[in-house]
Amino acid sequence: MREQNIHISLRLYQEEELNTDDLELLEAARQATYRSYTPYSHFSVGAAARLANGTIVTGSNQENAAYPSGLCAERTALFYANAQYPDQAIDTLAIAARNERGDFLSAPIPPCGACRQVMLETEQRFQRPMRILLFGTKGIYEVKDAGSLLPLSFDASAMK
Ligand code: THU
């Protein structure tokens, strides 16, 4: 038996340390939370993708009475971006969330597993790292690529 460890590297920023592009993207993600449809969870998530051409595309979680029919903010944003701009890689994806009291989370929002899987495929599709910014009022995580958020990931290469 051999124990193995997989490390992921994150950077923790305060908002005042970010450049104007990232601040703009985070604000777009925060604003997107107000366009979520969350009558069931009352948990509002916003995602904003900056495409390689500079365009910002946003998404928010959209719920449904048939719960699994709803979709997370990240996938709404990524699928919309890919549907509208199929030849544009995603440079950075910013994510923010508000709890049922309407407050932005203090710790950086952790994306769900299914969204991480879609982020990975999006990154691989364009063969270009997708930076991810996870907003929290007490700090913002920067992850250098989607692969870092999903160690031991399943992708198309596993089926070969
Ligand atoms: N949600 C997201 O939009 N993104 C995530 O990464 C985590 C969860 C949504 C799904 C559902 O509408 C609500 O948050 C509660 O799970």
Q: Answer yes or no: 123 catalytic.
A: no
Tell me the pLDDT tens digit for each residue of 10-51. Answer: 999 999 999 999 999 999 999 999 999 999 999 999 999 999
Tell me the pLDDT tens digit for each residue of 49-96. Answer: 999 999 999 999 999 999 999 999 999 999 999 999 999 999 999 999
Q: How confident is the model at residue 155 (pLDDT cuts 50, 70, 90)?
A: very high
Please name every residue paired with 44 in a beta bridge, in sequence order, or none if there are none. Answer: 98
Domain range summary for the chain, segments of one domain joined by +: 10-150
What integer pLDDT is reported at residue 74 of this predicted model?
98
C-beta of residue 62 within 8 angstroms of C-beta of residue 75: no
Which pTM was predicted?
0.97
What integer pLDDT is reported at residue 98 of this predicted model?
98
What integer pLDDT is reported at residue 34 of this predicted model?
98
Question: Which tokens in the block code for residue 62?
Answer: 């959209």
The CA distance from 23 to 28, in Å, is 9
What integer pLDDT is reported at residue 67 of this predicted model?
98
Which is the catalytic residue, given 74, 100, 121, 142?
74
Tell me the pLDDT tens digit for each residue of 89-144. Answer: 999 999 999 999 999 999 999 999 999 999 999 999 999 999 999 999 999 999 99
DSSP 5: -
Question: Which tokens in the block code for residue 123?
Answer: 């990154």
Q: Where are the beta strands (DSSP E) in the chain?
A: 10-13, 44-51, 56-60, 90-98, 131-136, 139-143
What pairing do the DSSP bridges indicate for beta strands 10-13 and 56-60?
Answer: unpaired
User: According to CATH, what is the number of the domain 10-150?
Assistant: 3.40.140.10
Nearest ligand 1 atom to alpha carbon 38: 12
**Beta carbon of 73 within 6 Å of any ligand 1 atom:** yes
What integer pLDDT is reported at residue 28 of this predicted model?
98
Mutate to test the pocket of ligand 1, among 30, 58, 72, 105 (most ligand atoms within 8 A of CB): 72
If residue 23 lies in a helix (H) or strand (E), which one and from where to where? helix 20-33
